[in-house]
Amino acid sequence: MSEPTVETDLVVIGAGPTGLFAAYYAGFRGHRVAVVDSLPELGGQITAMYPEKAILDVAGFPSVKGRDLVAGLVEQANTARPDYLLDRTASTLATDDDGVTVGLDDGTQVRAGAVVITAGIGKFSPRPLPAGEEWVGRGLEFFVPSFAPYAGKDVVIVGGGDSAFDWALHLEPIAATVTLVHRRDAFRAHERTVQQVRQTSVEILTKAQVSAVRGNGVVESVEITGPDGVHERPCQAVVAALGFVADLGPLQEWGIAVEKRHVVVGPSMQTNLPRVFAAGDITEYDGKVRLIAVGFGEAATAVNNATVAMDPSAKVFPGHSSEGS
């Protein structure tokens, strides 16, 4: 049986905010577009890690929840009628005079005129909680995509970074109790957030760790080992906010110039490979600033220049999208 093939004009690798805007802009330029992502849902890290978090650095929005930003970007991207190839990893990339071929880990081949890589920090996986590996999905989770399931529960959050404190702050009003456990007495989280949490009912245990998780089919309690010894605490939910391991994965084998785990691009967002562009947090160049707002501009630059790479008679700047068609 031959491998399935998807024919399109532009393939976007990465379905986070930058990738979704790139898909919209590809449609604005009149291209067919396919979007590939290793996650099963659109939105990248925002959907997976902090959909309820307030995002403050997007122009025009003094504050917008992550899930609301993603919803708007998806609605905008859908005007391009993209082919979404989710829960699949881009494994191979080959270029020739006529275009690019991206091979996915399920055997699908995506043939396009150009590619825009918007893979953020690459493929990421959460750091495990050794004491709770067998409880994942049975009361132990790594991310909090929705607060509602934690209502009225005793929640234990493990970690000392921004995600741990953000979730503690947001869960405190709806959970029965929230306990934050961290193995050190210093935190990586932003000091302002730490102070906000200290002003709530959240109990912070430092120089401590969750040494065991117990229950009958689902989590019912945890064992916490700290300076005062070992004690057991009832809880029905554990959030292991221990950070994640990012990996550029197969991309590193494609011949693309990489510097400090980021893809090197020029002013047109083109990589060292023909017809291969990049945008968003994954890119590196002098003066790079990693903000969502910057990624949007880079996506438009990448798509416009990819358009010329596919059709040398096209203009880099086609006019403003607000002018209509």
Confirm or deny that 236 is annotated as ligand binding.
Answer: no
Below-70 pLDDT ranges, the chain: 1-3, 122-124, 246, 322-325
Per DSSP, 181 falls in state E
Please provide the size of the chain in residues.
325
Q: Tokens standing for 33? A: 């577009």
What is the distance between the alpha carbons of residues 252 and 262, in angstroms, rounded to a whole number?
10
196 is in an annotated binding site: no
Whether 221 has a binding-site annotation, put simply, is no
| H or E, element range at 292 | helix 292-310
* Domains of the chain with bracketed CATH: 5-124+245-323 (3.50.50.60), 128-242 (3.50.50.60)
* Residue 146: HSE in the Cβ half-sphere, 13 Å Cα cutoff: 3
* Model pTM score: 0.76
Q: Is 90 known as a binding-site position? A: yes
What does the pLDDT read at residue 3?
67
Q: Is 18 annotated as a binding residue?
A: yes
Query: 54 among the known binding-site residues?
Result: no
3-state secondary structure of 274: coil
199 labelled as ligand-binding? no
**322 among annotated binding-site residues:** yes
